[in-house]
């Protein structure tokens, strides 16, 4: 699929903007704080209804305005879609496909897929488990509508169960209602664990090959799912943890506590890897994500590279740029440096200056 064009009105620092993208490589360059990332955020939002940064709708509307609009034209095979997103300050956003309003954001599912790559992704290996879980959930939600449904359900149940655990200190009679939450938590949690296991297995196979090449054949990277309890044992584990949960007023077991494990030669590189090793593994992870998305959707995702090239050394830059010839890519950078000018074909160049974008070719 490709994003053909986009129109923004009162989105972030853009009063009004119309962009026609190339089907291959698009570069947005300009000084800091001019609005480059905002464009990638708008593209991502159009296909997923969410900001890649998790920003609230009201924060994405031009300062002082009540509403913001995004219109995107997406081409998937021979079919064209017009996606409209209407951000409102104090209400839920409106979404329409080809002019027809949709009730649930999940109806957009399957039209557009993205892989977003920012400098923060390069530190995913050394960050906390929360960031790695977020990666896992974001990818799975893009690829599997059922997972999204289970995740929303599971998170709601854990939130309500935790509230109940807190309320028990002044309403001990409520303990009887805990049974139902435990059962439901186990039911949804089991589904999450099973989907994650399958996803990590597929990703793990792809990442091994990519990482071998990226590390010059020196390293074998093993990706695995570090779960605190298996799918089948989840219900018993939740029941067993009850006393501790009541004491600590929180749910201690379940997939909301899981992690992704990265090891090289049996060594956990989250804790013991060198900086370079961790960054190479993070790059391998992103490249594997592109491959996996291609396999699952039988199409190419759009790659959004936010200021990430300057963070990589020449070898890694080359590897990344050589891997993405066949997909639509939107790259932001502060200058058209040597690496861009000499080693990589750019199809369209845009200069971004204070909320205005100028096409240079
Ligand atoms: N809701 C909003 N309304 C108006 N302007 C906004 C809004 N949100 C952010 N901005 C402005 O957008 C600019 C930041 O844009 P963006 O993050 O896209 O910068 P950038 O060009 O990617 O910079 P960098 O290279 O530093 O990442 C800032 O000037 C900020 O004040």
Q: Report the complex ipTM.
A: 0.97
Give domain status of residue 212, yes or no. no
Distance from residue 147's CA to the centre of ligand 1 (Å): 33
Give domain status of residue 356, yes or no. yes
68 in ligand 1 pocket by Cβ < 6 Å? Answer: no
Digit-coded pLDDT (tens) for 244-291: 999 999 999 999 999 999 999 999 999 999 998 999 999 999 999 999
Distance from residue 39's CA to the centre of ligand 1 (Å): 10
64 in ligand 1 pocket by Cβ < 6 Å? Answer: no
- Is pLDDT at 339 greater than 70 in this prediction? no
Q: Hey, whose CA ends up nearest to atom 11 of ligand 1?
A: 13
At 303, is the pLDDT very low, low, confident or very high (cuts 50, 70, 90)? very high
What number does the ligand 1 atom closest to the CA of 334 have? 25
Q: Establish how many alpha carbons lie within 13 A of residue 54's alpha carbon, considering only the half-sphere containing its beta carbon.
A: 4
Distance from residue 122's CA to the centre of ligand 1 (Å): 22
198 in ligand 1 pocket by Cβ < 6 Å? Answer: no
Residue keyed to tokens 């977003």: 116
Q: Are strands 267-268 and 259-264 parallel, antiparallel or unpaired?
A: antiparallel
Distance from residue 14's CA to the centre of ligand 1 (Å): 9
Residue 257 is given by DSSP the state G
Taken in order 209, 210, 212, 213, is the CA torsion positive or negative? positive
Give domain status of residue 164, yes or no. no
Burial 280-289 (b: 16+ CB within 10 A, else e): bbbbbbbbbb
12 in ligand 1 pocket by Cβ < 6 Å? Answer: yes
Range from 110-124, 128-142, 335-349 carrying the lowest mean pLDDT? 335-349
Distance of CA 281 to the CA centre of its chain: 17
- Mutation choice for ligand 1 from 34, 304, 307, 358, CB with most ligand atoms inside 8 A: 34
Q: Hey, whose CA ends up nearest to atom 18 of ligand 1?
A: 35
* Distance from C-alpha of 56 to C-alpha of 63, rounded to nearest angstrom: 13
pLDDT of residue 338: 56
By CB atoms closer than 10 A (0-12, 13-18, 19+), residue 188 is buried
Give domain status of residue 208, yes or no. no
At 178, is the pLDDT very low, low, confident or very high (cuts 50, 70, 90)? very high
Distance from residue 213's CA to the centre of ligand 1 (Å): 37
**Three-state SS sequence of 147-195:** HHHHHHHHHHHHHHHHHHHHHCCCCHHHHHHHHHHHHHHHHHHHHHHHH
Give domain status of residue 332, yes or no. yes
At 224, is the pLDDT very low, low, confident or very high (cuts 50, 70, 90)? very high
| pTM recorded for the entire structure | 0.90
Q: Which residues sit opposite 80 in a β-bridge?
A: 75
At 342, is the pLDDT very low, low, confident or very high (cuts 50, 70, 90)? low
62 in ligand 1 pocket by Cβ < 6 Å? Answer: yes
* Structural domain harbouring 306: 1-113+299-361
Percent of the chain with pLDDT over 90: 80
Average pLDDT for the chain: 93
Identify the three-state secondary structure at position 233.
Answer: coil
Give domain status of residue 98, yes or no. yes
How many secondary structure helices (H) and strands (E) does the chain include? 11, 15
Single out the residue of 335, 342, 300 nearest to residue 321, CA to CA.
342
32 is in an annotated binding site: yes
Residue keyed to tokens 């090239």: 309
44 in ligand 1 pocket by Cβ < 6 Å? Answer: no
By CB atoms closer than 10 A (0-12, 13-18, 19+), residue 24 is middle
CATH number at residue 314: 3.40.50.300
- The count of domains in the chain is 1
Digit-coded pLDDT (tens) for 195-209: 999 999 999 999 999
Q: Which residues sit opposite 352 in a β-bridge?
A: 357
Task: Report the first-to-last Cα separation within the chain, whole angstroms.
Answer: 23
Rounded to 5, what percent of the chain is helix, strand, coil? Answer: 45, 25, 30
Distance of CA 176 to the CA centre of its chain: 38
């Amino acid at each position: 699929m490709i994003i053909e064009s986009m129109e923004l009105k009162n989105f972030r620092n853009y009063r009004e903007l119309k962009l026609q993208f190339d089907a291959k490589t698009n570069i947005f360059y300009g000084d800091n704080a001019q609005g480059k990332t905002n464009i990638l955020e708008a593209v991502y939002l159009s296909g997923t209804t969410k900001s890649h940064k998790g920003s609230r709708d009201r924060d994405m509307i031009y300062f002082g305005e009540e509403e913001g609009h995004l219109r995107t034209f997406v081409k998937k095979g021979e079919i064209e879609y017009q996606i409209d997103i209407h951000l409102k300050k104090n209400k839920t956003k409106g979404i329409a496909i080809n002019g027809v309003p949709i009730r649930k954001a999940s109806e957009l599912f399957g039209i557009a897929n993205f892989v977003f790559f920012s400098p923060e992704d390069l530190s995913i290996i050394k960050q906390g488990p929360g960031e790695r879980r977020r990666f896992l959930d974001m990818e799975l939600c893009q690829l599997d509508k059922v997972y999204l449904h289970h995740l929303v359900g599971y998170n709601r149940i854990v939130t309500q169960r935790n509230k109940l655990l807190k309320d028990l200190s002044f309403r001990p009679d409520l303990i009887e209602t805990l049974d139902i939450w435990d059962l439901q938590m186990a039911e949804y949690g089991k589904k999450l664990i099973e989907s994650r296991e399958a996803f990590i297995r597929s990703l793990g196979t792809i990442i091994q090959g990519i990482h071998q090449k990226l590390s010059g054949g020196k390293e074998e990277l093993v990706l695995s799912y570090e779960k605190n309890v298996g799918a089948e044992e989840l219900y018993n584990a939740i029941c067993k943890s009850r006393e501790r949960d009541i004491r600590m007023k929180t749910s201690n077991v379940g997939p909301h506590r899981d992690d992704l494990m990265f090891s090289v030669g049996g060594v956990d590189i989250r804790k013991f890897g060198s900086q370079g090793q961790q960054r190479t593994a993070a790059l391998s992870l992103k490249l594997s994500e592109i491959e996996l998305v291609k396999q699952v959707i039988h199409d190419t995702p759009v790659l959004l590279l936010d200021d990430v090239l300057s963070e990589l050394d020449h070898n890694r830059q080359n590897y990344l740029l050589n891997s993405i010839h066949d997909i639509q890519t939107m790259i932001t950078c502060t200058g058209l440096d040597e690496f861009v000018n000499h080693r990589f074909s750019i199809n369209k160049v845009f200069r971004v200056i204070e909320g205005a974008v100028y096409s240079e070719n």
